[in-house]
């Protein structure tokens, strides 16, 4: 897409077969409302997932409040925001493929376009990691797209089998990270960036130069959700949500219920409601948490599709502002990282020791609100996201 931390393109023109799409598309510049709305709300989950990662401690003088925030963090944000992120990335690739074919484009030209986009996503992601903060997914998207471009036109059966097979190592890698985080938090030493922050920006950049190599490991974690997103885009679930109300309703209720059941044990463990020193328990809880995080991410996207169908051709100001943010989500994903750098690092405001866990959630919410306001201002003034403009210019050959 041209709007998410994964570029998806410029959307579609409304059709009479999609009830309510004419009005909605008219006020969203011809784009489908649901994908942009999902991408906008996704940035809130990403902010909530990332902000605590820059603190020195997750314990303040109010342990009950800390426990509540840890519970919410584990249940709502951790490895569920990422899943939603990745599914929307795949959906964006599916949208781009659909539009390319509709315009009469052939496979060689589509393959070249996707590879150019993948290459520039890698460049942007590596720059993000080195110059801002080492918490990037953009380069992982780019590498996945470069290596797996042929899968964009694979059969549904191939998509399904590849997603299922890659889901196993993806879940195990995520669970390994989760177990490490669980044990660190239980010991009072949360796994954050704070202990590794350099005293100067120059040292920060030099320390991050080798970090992009870690993006290769992330490919397997991106692949299942990306392929599912491509499959969903072929059926236009979010482009024509009014036509798919029944499917979206079942997906919303079933997948969010599954996510709640699978993620609740890890949330209770994170909040200290129950404890275990058995490493097997930690692994079981982590696998359930991260596997059902995929279900939760998809369920949230489906819920937003349902909401978009209900909104129809009457999007309000808040809806339009959130969609505007979704149209510029690559820009505002990087904006979040710039804020984390400004607030928490030793060579800037150095608030890593002063902000509590609850405070970091307040900051995350504030950053999201500011992002919505800025995106709405850009929409009203006709300004596109600068990173979206850059990516589009680099992806499409000059004529």
Question: To the nearest 5 percent, what fractions of the chain are helix, strand and coil?
Answer: 75, 0, 25
Overall average pLDDT of the 123-130 stretch:
96
- The radius of gyration of the chain's CA atoms, rounded to the nearest angstrom, is 20
Distance from the first to the final alpha carbon of the chain: 21
Which structure tokens are listed for 254?
A: 């079933």
CA distances from 197 to 53, 293, 335 (A): 12, 29, 19
DSSP secondary structure string for all residues of 233-280: HHTTTTTSGGGGHHHHHHHHHHHHHHHHHHHHHHHHHHTTSS----HH
- Summarised one tens digit per residue, pLDDT across range 243-298 is 999 999 999 999 999 999 999 999 999 888 888 888 999 999 999 999 999 999 99
pLDDT of residue 25: 47
pTM above 0.85, yes or no: yes
Could you tell me the maximum CA-CA distance found in the chain, to the nearest angstrom?
63
Q: Where do the domains of the chain lie?
A: 21-395
- Summarised one tens digit per residue, pLDDT across range 38-91 is 999 999 999 999 999 999 988 877 888 989 999 999 999 998 988 998 999 999
- Summarised one tens digit per residue, pLDDT across range 169-217 is 999 999 998 998 888 877 778 889 999 999 999 999 999 999 888 888 8
Q: How confident is the model at residue 20 (pLDDT cuts 50, 70, 90)?
A: very low
Q: How confident is the model at residue 30 (pLDDT cuts 50, 70, 90)?
A: low
Which structure tokens are listed for 118?
A: 């993948």
Residue 308: pLDDT over 70: yes
Overall average pLDDT of the 368-393 stretch:
96
pLDDT of residue 258: 97
In this structure, is the dihedral angle defined by the CA atoms of residues 222, 223, 224 and 228, taken in order, positive or negative?
positive
Burial (CB < 10 A; 0-12, 13-18, 19+), residue 102, is exposed
Which of 149, 47, 144, 132 has the alpha carbon at shortest distance from 97?
149
pLDDT of residue 58: 86
Return the number of other C-beta atoms located less than 10 Å from residue 112's C-beta. Answer: 13
Residue 4: pLDDT over 80: no
| Residue percentage of the chain with pLDDT more than 70 | 92
Torsion angle of C-alpha atoms 284, 285, 288, 294, degrees rounded to 10: -130
The answer to whether 38 and 31 have CB atoms below 8 angstroms apart is no
| Average pLDDT of the chain, as a whole number | 89
Residue 18: pLDDT over 50: no
pLDDT of residue 186: 75
Q: What's the residue count for the chain?
A: 399
**121/4 Cα distance (integer angstroms):** 11
DSSP secondary structure string for all residues of 155-207: -HHHHHHHHHHHHHHHHHHHHHHHHHHHHHHHTT----SGGG--SSHHHHHHH
Which structure tokens are listed for 351?
A: 């608030």
Q: How confident is the model at residue 398 (pLDDT cuts 50, 70, 90)?
A: low
**4/328 Cα distance (integer angstroms):** 6
């Amino acid at each position: 897409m041209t709007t998410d931390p994964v570029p998806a393109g410029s959307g579609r023109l409304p059709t009479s077969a999609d009830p309510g799409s004419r009005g909605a598309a008219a006020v969203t510049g011809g784009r489908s409302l649901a994908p942009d709305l999902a991408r906008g709300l996704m940035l809130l989950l990403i902010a909530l997932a990332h902000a605590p990662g820059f603190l020195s401690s997750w314990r303040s003088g109010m342990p009950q409040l800390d426990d509540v925030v840890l519970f919410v963090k584990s249940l709502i944000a951790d490895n569920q925001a990422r899943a939603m992120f990745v599914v929307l990335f795949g959906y964006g690739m599916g949208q781009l493929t659909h539009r390319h074919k509709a315009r009469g484009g052939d496979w060689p030209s589509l393959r070249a376009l996707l590879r150019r986009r993948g290459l520039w996503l890698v460049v942007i992601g590596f720059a993000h990691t080195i110059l801002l903060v080492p918490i990037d997914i953009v380069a992982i998207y780019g590498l996945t797209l470069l290596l797996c471009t042929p899968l964009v036109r694979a059969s549904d059966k191939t998509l399904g089998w590849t997603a299922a097979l890659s889901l196993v190592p993806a879940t195990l890698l995520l669970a390994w990270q989760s177990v490490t985080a669980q044990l660190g938090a239980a010991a009072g030493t949360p796994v954050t960036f704070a202990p590794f922050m350099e005293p100067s920006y120059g040292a920060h950049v030099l320390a991050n130069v080798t970090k992009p190599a870690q993006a290769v490991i992330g490919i397997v974690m991106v692949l299942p959700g990306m392929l599912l997103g491509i499959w969903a885009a072929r059926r236009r679930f979010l482009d024509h949500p009014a036509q798919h109300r029944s499917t979206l309703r079942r997906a919303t209720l079933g997948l969010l219920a599954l996510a709640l059941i699978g993620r609740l044990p890890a949330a209770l463990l994170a909040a200290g409601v129950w404890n275990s020193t058995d490493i097997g328990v930690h692994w079981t809880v982590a696998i359930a948490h991260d596997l059902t995080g995929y279900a939760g991410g998809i369920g949230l996207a489906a819920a937003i599709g349902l909401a978009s169908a209900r909104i129809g051709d009457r999007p309000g100001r808040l809806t339009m502002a959130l969609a505007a943010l979704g149209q510029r989500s690559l820009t505002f994903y990087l904006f979040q990282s710039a804020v984390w750098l400004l607030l928490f690092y030793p060579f800037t405001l150095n608030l890593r020791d002063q902000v509590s866990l609850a405070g970091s959630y307040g900051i995350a919410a504030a950053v999201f609100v500011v992002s919505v306001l800025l995106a709405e201002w850009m929409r009203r003034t006709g300004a596109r996201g600068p990173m979206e403009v850059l990516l589009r210019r680099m992806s499409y050959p000059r004529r």
